[in-house]
């Protein structure tokens, strides 16, 4: 008679459980959303604070750099400015401004050492503070050049395909820049196209780009491209050949690094692992031997 009550009770129980679960999950979702909003707001506040400090720093930097202009060596200054132009926040900055930055970091290191109260640490912090920006700049330049050389074979294949489809060199570069992803190589090619539009010859624009990149393999590629244009050889085939050669050289470099890995691991193995193994094996024996006396 009351058989219909069993499904009804089951339905009500399932409904209440689902309602409780939905409420619980809804609260958890709201907590996650609130946490995400708080993280975004904290990040935005941090960015605003950093932007204020950066704005203050870059506003005063030309004033600090003005007395340094006469002290900047020309070869060093040219190299520094070439590296700075590839860092977004430092584009257009002079070598004198970079020298002023190095002096500021040296002063901060000096103050840190004086606060500690140790003479040796003070000298070390001041010298380290002066050379630390150069280490950072060289690391950024090395990363950029590695990224550029990784991208180069793929871009050469795309250029070769576009030129085999009937496009000219400049048109192929423009199409790939429009549809490709941004990167170090895209930045260099954009500068090259700007030079071409300003009236420079293709040969001069390519050679200027090679000097900016300052990478042996990239210079070899540019030289091959210039010679192919001068001799009337197909640029598409030259690009395809250069891409294959770059991939082969990169594969050889990876194999060389793999062969060198065991030798590089030998010192950490001797310095850190062998002493631990020695203590585990001979430690109890040494302890018992000492207790015997």
Question: Which residue segments constitute the domains of the chain, with CATH numbers given?
Answer: 150-257 (1.20.81)
Backbone angles phi, psi at 86, to 5 degrees: -95, 5
Q: What angle do CA 129, 80, 82 make, to 5 degrees?
A: 145
pTM given for the model: 0.60
pLDDT at 43: 52
pLDDT at 203: 84
Both tokens of 61, joined, read 């930097």
Burial of 49 (0-12, 13-18, 19+ CB in 10 A): exposed
What number of CA atoms fall less than 13 Å from residue 23's CA on the CB side?
Answer: 6
The answer to whether the beta carbons of residues 173 and 179 sit under 8 Å apart is no
pLDDT at 173: 83
Q: Over the chain (293 residues), what is each successive 10-residue block's mean pLDDT?
A: 55 61 58 58 49 72 74 77 76 79 85 82 85 88 84 82 82 82 81 84 84 82 83 80 82 81 78 77 76 68
Both tokens of 78, joined, read 């040219």
Nearest-10 crossing angle of helices 235-268, 119-164: 150
pLDDT at 49: 47
pLDDT at 171: 84
């Amino acid at each position: 008679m009351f058989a219909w009550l069993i499904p009804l009770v089951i339905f009500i129980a399932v409904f209440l459980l689902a309602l409780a679960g939905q409420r619980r999950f809804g609260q958890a979702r709201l907590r996650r959303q609130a946490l995400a909003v708080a993280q975004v707001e904290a990040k935005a506040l941090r960015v605003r604070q950093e932007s204020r400090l950066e704005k203050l720093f870059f506003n005063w930097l030309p004033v600090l750099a003005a007395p340094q202009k006469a002290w900047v060596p020309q070869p060093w200054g040219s190299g520094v400015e070439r590296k700075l132009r590839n860092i977004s926040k430092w584009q257009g900055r002079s070598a004198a401004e970079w020298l002023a930055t190095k002096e500021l970091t040296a002063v901060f290191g000096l103050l840190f050492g004086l606060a500690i109260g140790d003479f040796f640490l003070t000298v070390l912090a001041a010298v380290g503070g002066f050379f630390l920006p150069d280490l950072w700049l060289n690391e950024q330049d090395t990363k950029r050049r590695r990224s550029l050389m990784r991208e180069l074979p793929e871009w050469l294949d795309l250029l070769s395909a576009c030129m085999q489809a009937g496009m000219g060199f400049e048109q192929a570069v423009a199409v790939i820049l429009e549809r490709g992803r941004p990167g170090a190589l895209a930045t260099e090619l954009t500068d090259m196209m700007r030079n071409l539009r300003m009236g420079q010859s293709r040969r001069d624009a390519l050679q200027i780009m090679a000097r900016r990149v300052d990478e042996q393999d990239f210079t070899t590629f540019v030289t091959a491209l210039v010679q192919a244009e001068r001799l009337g050889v197909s640029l598409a085939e030259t690009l395809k050949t250069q891409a294959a050669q770059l991939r082969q050289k990169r594969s050889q470099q990876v194999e060389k690094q793999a062969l060198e890995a065991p030798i590089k691991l030998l010192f950490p193995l001797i310095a850190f692992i062998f002493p631990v193994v020695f203590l585990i094996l001979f430690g109890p024996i040494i302890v018992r031997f000492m207790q015997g006396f």
